[in-house]
């Protein structure tokens, strides 16, 4: 079978917009990065909050964190996205409903995809933070309390800084998973790399060039994330902690 390669297709003008096919992919690349940043921020903040709650001696707060994890971790991501896109706007008060549907469709899809992917990933980060906190010797918490720190201060100044150092490697993997999971947002109309590659395939009929281009795009994003996280991990490393003798 002969493949008719046509790499020049990326510089051709699209039939429905005043841009090139490369412009389509560039837009998808930017929107993928934006979704990862916004949903990653939500996932980190929410995951940290509920991860702390799961380690508190308060039974109610601990159970609240456990419920969050069970609900959001055990339902497929695509269900979360459709729930936020199709169901949530109907359930909210009419004023919020009207405001949501007055937004530009691209902003609306970004907002809802961010919430869906962020809360879904936050449940996984929650467990990582909980495990990291519980892996810290209990003597550190007792020492903080003995020095006159409140429980909040003990978490803020002693437990969480150590926990975040321990959670960096699995957190890196979780961010990389978010990049891959962002492709699921194409099912709800979000304009990311996979969506744009499908448009290129539909209008230009060049499947190999299209999917090779987005593969390169995803690899590029993940390589930047990996090196960035390795740099952060090296900068915050404490000699003698977790077997590091450097």
pLDDT tens per residue across span 47-56? 999 999 999 9
Give the number of other CB atoms < 10 A from CB of residue 139: 9
Across the chain, what does the average pLDDT equal? 88
**What pLDDT is stored for residue 244 in this prediction?**
52
Closest CA to 203 of 21, 6, 18, 72: 21
**What pLDDT is stored for residue 18 in this prediction?**
83
Q: Is residue 229 exposed (0-12), middle (13-18) or buried (19+ Cβ within 10 Å)?
A: middle
Give the number of other CB atoms < 10 A from CB of residue 98: 11
Give the lowest-confidence range in 15-29, 124-138, 148-162. 15-29
SS3 132: helix
Q: Taking 50 as the threshold, does the pLDDT of residue 214 lie above it?
A: yes
Q: Which residue has the tokens 């003008």?
A: 13
Q: Taking 50 as the threshold, does the pLDDT of residue 120 lie above it?
A: yes
Closest CA to 152 of 84, 87, 56, 239: 56
Give the lowest-confidence range in 22-26, 64-68, 205-209. 205-209
Q: Taking 80 as the threshold, does the pLDDT of residue 238 lie above it?
A: no
Hey, CA dihedral for 101, 120, 82, 88, is it positive or negative? negative
User: Domain segments of the chain: what residues?
Assistant: 30-194
Give the lowest-confidence range in 23-32, 71-80, 153-162, 205-214. 205-214
Length of the chain: 246
Q: Which residue has the tokens 């936020």?
A: 84
Hey, CA dihedral for 96, 101, 104, 106, is it positive or negative? positive
Task: Specify the CATH number for 30-194; select among 1.10.1200.10, 3.30.365.10, 3.40.920.10, 1.10.3720.10.
Answer: 1.10.3720.10
pLDDT greater at residue 223 or residue 200: 223
Does the global pTM surpass 0.75?
yes
Give the number of other CB atoms < 10 A from CB of residue 146: 10
Give the bridge partners for 20, in sequence order.
13
**What pLDDT is stored for residue 246 in this prediction?**
47
Contact predicate 174/125, CB 8 Å: yes
Give the bridge partners for 13, in sequence order.
20
């Amino acid at each position: 079978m002969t493949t008719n390669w046509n790499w020049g297709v990326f510089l051709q003008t699209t039939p429905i917009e005043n841009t090139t096919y490369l412009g389509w992919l560039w837009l998808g690349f930017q929107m993928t990065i934006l979704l990862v940043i916004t949903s990653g921020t939500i996932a980190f903040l929410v995951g940290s909050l509920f991860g702390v709650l799961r380690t508190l001696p308060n039974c109610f707060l601990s159970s609240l964190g456990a419920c969050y994890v069970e609900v959001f971790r055990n339902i497929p991501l695509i269900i979360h996205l459709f729930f936020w896109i199709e169901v949530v706007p109907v359930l909210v008060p009419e004023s919020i409903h009207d405001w949501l549907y007055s937004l530009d469709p691209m902003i609306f899809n970004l907002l809802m995809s961010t919430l869906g992917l962020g809360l879904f990933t936050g449940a996984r980060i929650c467990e990582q933070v909980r495990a990291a906190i519980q892996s810290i010797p209990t003597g550190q918490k007792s020492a903080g309390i003995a020095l006159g720190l409140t429980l909040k201060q003990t978490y803020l100044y002693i437990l969480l800084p150590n926990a975040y150092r321990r959670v960096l490697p699995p957190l890196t993997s979780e961010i990389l998973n978010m990049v891959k999971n962002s492709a699921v947002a194409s099912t709800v109309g979000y304009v990311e790399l996979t969506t744009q590659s499908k448009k290129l395939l539909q209008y230009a009929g060049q499947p190999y060039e299209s999917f090779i281009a987005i593969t390169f795009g995803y690899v590029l994003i993940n390589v930047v994330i990996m090196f960035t996280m390795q740099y952060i991990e090296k900068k915050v490393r404490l000699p003698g902690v977790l077997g590091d003798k450097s």
